[in-house]
Amino acid sequence: MAVQTAEKAPPAPKRSAGGAPEKRGRKRAFGFDRKVTPYLFVIPFFVVFGVFGLYPILYTFWVSLHDWHLVNGELGFVGLDNFTELFHDPDFYRALRNTLSIFVISTFPQLLFALGIAWMLDTKLRARSFWRSAVLVPNVVSIVAVGVVFSQMFAPSDWSVSNWLLSLVGLGAVDWPANVWSSHLAISVMVIWRWTGYNALIYLAAMQAVPRELYESAELDGASRWTTFWSVTVPSIRPTIVFTVVISTIGGLQLFTEPLLFGGVNGQEGGSDHQFQTLTLLLYKYAFVQQNSGYASAISWVLFLLIALMAVVNLLLVRRISSTR
């Protein structure tokens, strides 16, 4: 991520004192081109990010301090009332628990699987392009399609794919959406299915950059493959692991589409007892179903702070774990 500094400046155009007027005009145009054009090149990004990214987030805080209806607009300043109400709202705490639970169940197995898969891919496999592409296929399937298809596979009936598989090993059918744990598990399977291969390829790229000598010396020390994996490979790709954890945190805490589709009609409720209603579903419900912008904005900000907090905690945790190995 190191920012490269200053390449050589282009050789300054020779100053021909008192050149022809036409030449001087060209030189001025050249100066303008050199001084201003770089800004013109980078400014579209900052405009787009500022207008459609940063400004809405900041404005969300302003809205959260008001009684604000999506269509009717601002209905008066209420200070922190929306937040106070939110912190007394059992739906909020349930959504918070659900979000964290699904995040944990989906992220940690996913990243561990991804590490294992990357380790397998980082060998002299035959037809290696095939394996690499095959593990990435789920990632090109849209989250909506994943939600639709897996909701059928986890349908509460005896004949759904999941319950049929359970029956093959002699287990009874599960009413997946009805319970807290089973619904969280089903939703996590969707996330794991779509993202494991993607993360595996990211780890693979990092593993390929690990210097060969490290493995050779571990081998000379008589380390087993397992030890080598944990004491050489994992610490060497630590920055990449940190990166995936942070990205997964940002994405995982905003989980929306999978539970929405798993919920079927009135998906924003997250099940009959809101047993899999996530914070973003709650945000969506208040913002666009109830049209209570002020309250929805308060949820946004709490979620924003939560993401920032979790990202930092994860960062420290992962640093610590992989450095003590």
Partner 1 sequence: MAAKSTARAERRPGPLVYTAMALLVLASLFPLYWTFVVASNDNSVIGQSTPPLVPGGHLFDNFSRVFDSVEFWIAMKNSLIISTTTAVSNVVLSTMAGFAFAKLRFRGRNLLLGTVVATVMVPTQLGIVPLYMMITKMGLFASVSAVILPSLVSAFGVFWMRQAIDENIPDELVEAARVDGCRLIGVWWHVVLPGVRSTASVLAMFVFMTAWNDFFWPLIVLPPGTGGTVQTVLSQLAAGYFTDYSLIMSGAFLGVLPLLVLFVAFARQIVSGVMAGAVKG
Subset of residues 104 to 163 that bind partner 1, contact rule: CB under 8 A: 117, 120-125, 129, 131-153, 157-161
**3 is a contact residue toward partner 1 (CB under 8 A):** yes
Residue type, 141: V
Residue type, 78: V
Among 19, 80, 239, 325, the residue binding partner 1 under the rule CB under 8 A is 239
Site for partner 1 in 55-74 (CB under 8 A): 55-60, 63, 70
Site for partner 1 (CB under 8 A): how many residues?
A: 117
What are the residue ranges of helices labelled H in the chain? 21-49, 55-64, 81-87, 90-121, 128-140, 143-153, 161-168, 180-208, 212-220, 225-228, 234-236, 238-252, 257-262, 279-284, 293-324
227: tokens are: 């030890």
314: alpha, beta or left, given left = phi > 0 and alpha = psi -120 to 50?
A: alpha
**222 is a contact residue toward partner 1 (CB under 8 A):** no
**257 is a contact residue toward partner 1 (CB under 8 A):** yes
**312 is a contact residue toward partner 1 (CB under 8 A):** no
**226 is a contact residue toward partner 1 (CB under 8 A):** no
Site for partner 1 in 161-190 (CB under 8 A): 161, 164
Site for partner 1 in 268-307 (CB under 8 A): 280, 283-284, 287-288, 293, 296-297, 300-301, 303-304, 307
Phi and psi (nearest 5°) for 275?
Answer: -70, -15
In this complex, which beta carbon is closest to partner 1, that of residue 122 or of residue 184?
122
**33 is a contact residue toward partner 1 (CB under 8 A):** yes
Phi and psi (nearest 5°) for 78?
Answer: -125, 10
Q: Which residue has the tokens 């994992």?
A: 234
Among 111, 186, 206, 234, the residue binding partner 1 under the rule CB under 8 A is 206
Cα–Cα distance between 110 and 193 in angstroms, integer?
8
**208 is a contact residue toward partner 1 (CB under 8 A):** yes
In this complex, which beta carbon is closest to partner 1, that of residue 41 or of residue 88?
41
Nearest distance, CB of residue 251 and partner 1, angstroms: 9
Among 42, 72, 170, 226, the residue binding partner 1 under the rule CB under 8 A is 42
Task: Say which residues have a Cβ less than 8 Å from residue 188's Cβ, sequence separation at least 6.
Answer: 102, 105, 106, 109
